[in-house]
Amino acid sequence: MEALKGLKGFKILEQKMNHGFIELLVDKNEVFKTLETLKKTQSLRCNNLHCISGVDYVDYMEVVYHLYSYKLGHKIALKVRVTKEDNELDSAYPLWKTADWQEREIFEMYGIKFNGHPNLTNLLLTDDFPGYPLRKDFPLTNNEEWLLQDNQTAKDYGLPDDLSLLLKKNVKNNGEKK
Amino acid sequence: MGLLDEKIIKRPNIISAAADKVFNWSRLSSLWLMIYGIACCSIESFAIGGPRYDVERFGIAGRASARQADVLLILGPVTKKMAPVLRTLYAQMPEPKYVVACGSCAITGGAFQDSFFVIQGVQKVIPVDVYVPGCHPRAESFLYGFLKLQEHIRNETLVKGRPGPLKEPIIVPEALSVGQKQELGEAMKDEEKV
Amino acid sequence: MAATKKLQTKTVSVNFGPQHPSMHGVLFVRAELDGELIVQVEPHIGYLHRSMEKIFENRYYNQCIAISDRADYLGGYFNETVIALAAERLMEVKVPERAEFLRVILMELTRIANHIFFWGNFGQDLGSFWTTALWAWREREMYYDIVEEISGYRQHPNWIRIGGVYKDATDGWLQKVLDFCDEMEKRLKIYENLVTYNEIFLARTKNVGNITKKWAIDWGITGPLLRCAGFKWDLRKDDTYSVYDQFEFDIPTTHNGDCWDAYRVRMDEITESIKIVRQAVSKIPDGPIRTKLPMLVSPPRGDTYARIEGPRGELGCYLVSDGSKKPYRLKLRAPAFVNLASITEFLKDQLIGDFIALLAIYDPVMGEVDR
């Protein structure tokens, strides 16, 4: 804890102990500098970024970086706040390559963009998925009827045309073969 | 097959009965599955191939490619990303082909009812013949499903046209009753029956 | 050689598609080959994305524990334990000793079953098709019998609760566990004889792949892959949770970082787990198995991160609670997801013949990767 007092280059907005973790709240423009300082200063040496998660509180969204030092045993949780309009952050990829897939997942689930990321595309969802699922305004329950109706074509679902004919006939006759 | 289909078999006769018996027996004794393990139920399907519930004695072997398989076991929830792939695989299988939907995720979406990405039931994507419910079903339920499928195949005839997806799919009960367990036990002992 | 350099060649693109016979699940890898050399690898995941994290926000805590079994479907108890640990830390609830010991016994048994399944599939991928796979299933069926007796079902146990466990051990159960350990030791000798120093196996896995400690820490790799690179790190000893500090066990590490070492580390972990199970069975106290809590718990406001050593690496759970009966955000940090990101670099400049061995040591379970 004392080591954090002398660090320069970034401003800590809030700091507290939380179930064994030192929790820091930092402004979003200073994330990269903070992570770099935490990684490189000799007294802290947090060389393990083991989890990046996103949380959606309704007024703002938070990205939480969990850092750990293999040598010294410090546990730090770094929190950053962004809003829906102002949603760009610097990527941690130049410091730790493990941020690659974790940031891509946060991008597709929350819509938070990371500058400097080599390949920010959808990872788990389909390429043209509309909306950002894990936000709180995305509906919780599934009310869709995913079934080809008579007037819909396979292109509406991104499927190849000829294969849909196979199903269309079967479904129309309630599963009976023609 | 072509000659039998078009010229000789218009109504049941002795040639069709003999041909039926041979074709059906050969089909049901060597139903080859396609190894298509999506999720947790697939571990149970590996278990039935294992030493305790040996499924190869029924003639069922696992094949890697869809073009060599007769039966497609759907083992797990089908997501929207996976559905086009599944249709391609189903189209690659040569006829006659059968589909067995195993596990509640394949039947109706299962534990993931509220999910925006899981299709609530694989019958919305491909036609299904046998349903084996459970989460995940016990190994004996799988074997019972295969036995029922074999019974159905034994009763197919060429007179009614080429075999295709079943009109009323077979539903395996989730917990076998005493009578069904006895049936299963007898079938497993009597190797010649299958 | 100068003549071939002027030849214009194109790379061939090979799909290791979502349906393939090697039992890793629905992973799609597209590899670009130049002759036999892999130039680029592009993994596509998400074919099993069930949006568990969205579902967790709409379920009570006990239901979350039941669903989280399906994430890492080969190691059922680990996912449940990590959620229970996170919730217990927020609520500051103490779990009785007997429950902790039972949890440890079952987690270590699951680790053994998982590693022996890895052994079976690794052998199958490398050519000894059904021998190793079916031998591994012999042990796994014995493990299923033990698990079925205490938790009711073979694979998705739904047995761990916040504040303890659900059911106590029956009369002969502890003896069955010890019998399983004895059988496992005997059979492990036979298995090692068959595979570990086999000429073909050595030719296919020795000096294939090179994981260095620095590269592994950069990519956030944890678990047996980190230990095979020479870094002795195990959360059971270095960041202790539950009652692991009462047991004596060693952490196997090797130094070369190739496929054979990754296999070796997992095999040695089986012997260490057997040691832990035997010590736990001899030290287990009597007592209650669950602290008295309401059926629908509501942890106080706050957030915490709990982590345990799963069979694939560090399994973590970030839990944010807003005081209600359903979690506000429950994120599972899946080790296979974080490890698998590194195959873009790991598989570069390797031969296509080594592709399967290199992918198999990651031991990915797609339920965990895609959640």
Domain residue ranges in chain B: 2-189
Gap between the Cα atoms of A102 and C357, Å rounded:
25
pLDDT of residue B1: 58
B87 and A177 within 8 Å at the Cβ level: the answer is no
Quick check: is C6 in a domain? no
Contact C161, C83 (CB under 8 A): no
C46 and B81 within 8 Å at the Cβ level: the answer is yes
CATH of the domain at C204: 1.10.645.10
Instruction: Give the pair of three-digit tokens for residue A71.
Output: 């040598």
Contact C52, C71 (CB under 8 A): yes
Note whether A131 and A170 are same-domain residues.
Answer: no
Question: B-chain residues within 8 Å CB-CB of A160?
Answer: 84
pLDDT of residue C230: 87
Gap between the Cα atoms of C215 and A96, Å rounded:
10
Facing residue for A133 by CB, picked from C51, C89, C302: C51
**Helix spans in B119-161 (H):** 139-154
Gap between the Cα atoms of C28 and C17, Å rounded:
5
Note whether A176 and A118 are same-domain residues.
Answer: no
pLDDT of residue B7: 66
Tell me which range, A29-33, B153-157, B186-190, C78-82, is most confidently predicted by mean pLDDT.
C78-82
Hey, of A23, A25, A51, which one would you mutate to test binding to chain C, going by the most C CBs within 10 A of its CB?
A: A51
Q: Which residues touch C172 (CB under 8 Å, ≥6 apart)?
A: none
Parent domain of C71: 51-338
pLDDT over threshold 70, residue A130: yes
Angle at A174 between CA B137 and CA B71, to 5 degrees: 40
Gap between the Cα atoms of C261 and C258, Å rounded:
5
pLDDT over threshold 60, residue A170: no
pLDDT over threshold 80, residue C356: yes
Note whether A68 and A153 are same-domain residues.
Answer: no
Q: How many CA atoms lie within 13 A of A59 on its CB side?
A: 0
Task: Over range A33-39, report the average pLDDT.
Answer: 83
pLDDT over threshold 50, residue A159: no
Facing residue for C73 by CB, picked from B39, B66, B138: B39
pLDDT of residue A111: 87
pLDDT of residue B51: 87
Note whether A60 and A128 are same-domain residues.
Answer: yes
Quick check: is C186 in a domain? yes
* Range from B1-5, B48-52, B117-121, C106-110 carrying the lowest mean pLDDT: B1-5
Task: Over range A39-44, report the average pLDDT.
Answer: 76
Facing residue for A124 by CB, picked from C49, C57, C320: C49
CATH of the domain at A123: 3.30.460.80
Q: Considering only alpha carbons, which residue of chain A is nearest residue C232?
A: A70
Hey, of C27, C28, C85, C217, which one would you mutate to test binding to chain A, going by the most A CBs within 10 A of its CB?
A: C217
pLDDT over threshold 70, residue C283: yes
Task: Over range A108-114, report the average pLDDT.
Answer: 88
CA distance C251 to chain A (A): 16
- Each residue's pLDDT tens digit, C238-258: 888 888 888 988 899 888 888
Note whether A74 and A98 are same-domain residues.
Answer: yes
Chain A and chain B share a number of CB contacts under 8 A equal to: 53
> Terminus-to-terminus CA distance in chain B, angstroms?
24
C45 and A124 within 8 Å at the Cβ level: the answer is yes
DSSP B122: G
pLDDT of residue A165: 41
pLDDT of residue B165: 67
Note whether A128 and A178 are same-domain residues.
Answer: no
Residue B192: which pLDDT band, with cuts at 50, 70 and 90? very low
Residue B193: which pLDDT band, with cuts at 50, 70 and 90? very low
Note whether A125 and A155 are same-domain residues.
Answer: no
Distances (CA, A) of C54 to A136, B29, C275: 9, 45, 39
- Each residue's pLDDT tens digit, C120-152: 989 888 888 888 888 999 889 999 999 988 888
CA dihedral (C103, C104, C105, C108) positive or negative: positive
Contact A114, A107 (CB under 8 A): yes
In the chain, the amino acid numbered B127 is P
DSSP C351: B
Gap between the Cα atoms of C84 and A54, Å rounded:
21
Gap between the Cα atoms of C275 and C279, Å rounded:
6
Task: Over range B27-49, report the average pLDDT.
Answer: 86
pLDDT of residue C186: 92
**What is the SS3 string spanning C187-231?**
HHHHHHHHHCCCHHHHHHHCCCCCCCHHHHHHCCCCCHHHHCCCC
Question: B-chain residues within 8 Å CB-CB of A157?
Answer: 83
Quick check: is C255 in a domain? yes
Gap between the Cα atoms of A19 and A42, Å rounded:
25
pLDDT over threshold 90, residue C278: yes
pLDDT over threshold 90, residue C4: no
Chains near B (3 or more Cβ pairs under 8 Å): A, C
Gap between the Cα atoms of A48 and A32, Å rounded:
15
Gap between the Cα atoms of C125 and B163, Å rounded:
36
Note whether A93 and A13 are same-domain residues.
Answer: yes
Note whether A80 and A119 are same-domain residues.
Answer: yes
Number of domains in chain A: 2
pLDDT of residue B36: 82
Residue C294 near chain B (CB below 8 Å)? no
Quick check: is C270 in a domain? yes
C318 and A125 within 8 Å at the Cβ level: the answer is no
Q: How many CA atoms lie within 13 A of B181 on its CB side?
A: 7
Phi, psi angle pair for C165, to nearest 5°: -125, 175
Note whether A156 and A72 are same-domain residues.
Answer: no
Note whether A67 and A154 are same-domain residues.
Answer: no
Gap between the Cα atoms of B53 and C281, Å rounded:
31
Question: A-chain residues within 8 Å CB-CB of C218?
Answer: 96-98
Contact C306, C316 (CB under 8 A): yes
Note whether A110 and A24 are same-domain residues.
Answer: yes
Burial letters C248-284, b for 16+ CB under 10 A, else e: ebebbbbebbbbbbbbbbbbbbbebbbebbbbbbeeb
Per the model's pLDDT, the better-predicted residue between C199 and A6 turns out to be C199
pLDDT of residue C274: 93
Number of domains in chain C: 1
pLDDT over threshold 70, residue A151: no
Output the average pLDDT for chain C.
Answer: 88
Among C334, B114, B4, C209, residue whose Cα is nearest residue A144: B114
Parent domain of A177: 144-178
User: Other C-beta atoms within 10 Å of C13: how many?
Assistant: 11
* Range from A73-77, A166-170, C361-365 carrying the lowest mean pLDDT: A166-170
Q: Phi/psi zone of residue A86: left (φ > 0), alpha (ψ -120 to 50 degrees), beta?
A: beta
Phi, psi angle pair for C163, to nearest 5°: 105, 5
pLDDT over threshold 50, residue A176: no
Quick check: is C27 in a domain? no
Of the CATH numbers 3.40.50.12280, 3.80.10.10, 3.40.50.1100, 3.40.30.10, which one belongs to the domain with range B2-189?
3.40.50.12280
Question: C-chain residues within 8 Å CB-CB of B32?
Answer: none
